[in-house]
């Protein structure tokens, strides 16, 4: 019998699908699996069964290409149940890559639930210098893409609304990283995260709240407001980029 742990910390709906998924992989490559953790919304308590994906990381003792082949069937079945293809890593890869993926590993370190084996992330040391550099690269890259998307939209309100709604989720890891650079622990709630970033960096947080509400389906950004909302969205992101650049 597999020794799963911390299952009470995972949403029941996520658990119902993810545990059989883990059991399938353990039966295929179990001898090499040293650790299984979930991260993201399923670990933070913000998991929405009808909308959220289940993100996971499997740490293997050895990572042979044949293990990927053996995992095809389980992963394909999992994708149909909104289980994203897991990250397959080794302990050595984690140690050697923390300066390459500081944002991603910070996200996992601070917001994961270990459900099997050994925890490889809680004690992971992440360079603040590397985190600042990746954060700057990411936010400036987002601004470039948003600028291109605005031009391609032709100024059509429906497209502008979709661009803002579809991009907001990728902004939250940047917000969390920005707070970490100030020595702060990011809140789990996205609403609280937006407010904290606005306060700490002197930004207008209302535009991000509006986009998040639109994404949740609570209140849409009006057609006549989309162009000005997009302008404010980019201005506030540029403000944060300039602040991070100066850190």
Q: What pLDDT score was predicted for residue 85?
A: 97
Pick from 132, 141, 135: which is nearest to 247 by CA?
132
CA separation for the pair 136, 9 (Å, rounded): 33
pLDDT per residue as tens digits for the range 72-95: 999 999 999 999 999 999 999 999
- In this structure, what token pair is assigned to residue 242? 């300039």
Let me know if 8 is exposed, middle or buried by CB neighbors in 10 A (0-12, 13-18, 19+): exposed
Spatial separation of the C-alpha atoms in residues 68 and 169, rounded to whole Å: 29
Q: Which residues contact 136 (CB under 8 A, 6 or more apart)?
A: 241, 244, 245
- The confidence score (pLDDT) of residue 49 equals 83
Ranges of residues in the chain whose predicted pLDDT is under 50? none
pLDDT at 44: 85
Predicted pLDDT of residue 86: 96
């Amino acid at each position: 019998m597999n020794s799963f742990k911390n299952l009470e910390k995972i949403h029941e709906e996520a658990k119902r699908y993810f545990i059989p998924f883990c059991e399938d992989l353990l039966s295929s490559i179990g001898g090499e699996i040293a650790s299984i953790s979930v991260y993201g919304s399923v670990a933070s308590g913000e998991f929405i069964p009808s909308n959220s994906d289940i993100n996971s990381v499997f740490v293997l003792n050895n990572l042979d290409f044949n293990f990927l082949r053996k995992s095809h069937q389980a992963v394909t079945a999992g994708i149909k149940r909104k289980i994203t293809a897991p990250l397959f890593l080794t302990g050595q890869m984690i140690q050697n890559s923390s300066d390459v993926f500081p944002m991603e590993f910070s996200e996992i370190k601070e917001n994961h639930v270990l459900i099997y084996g050994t925890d490889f992330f809680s004690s992971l040391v992440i360079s603040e210098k590397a985190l600042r550099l990746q954060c700057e690269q990411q936010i400036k890259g987002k601004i470039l893409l948003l600028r291109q998307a605005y031009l391609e939209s032709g100024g059509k309100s429906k497209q502008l609304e979709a661009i803002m709604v579809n991009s907001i989720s990728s902004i939250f890891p940047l917000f969390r990283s920005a707070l970490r650079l100030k020595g702060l622990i990011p809140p789990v709630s996205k609403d609280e995260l937006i407010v904290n970033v606005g306060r700490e960096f002197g930004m207008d947080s209302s535009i991000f709240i509006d986009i998040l509400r639109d994404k949740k389906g609570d209140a849409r950004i009006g057609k006549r407001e989309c162009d000005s909302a997009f302008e404010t969205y980019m201005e506030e992101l540029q403000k944060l980029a300039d602040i991070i650049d100066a850190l």
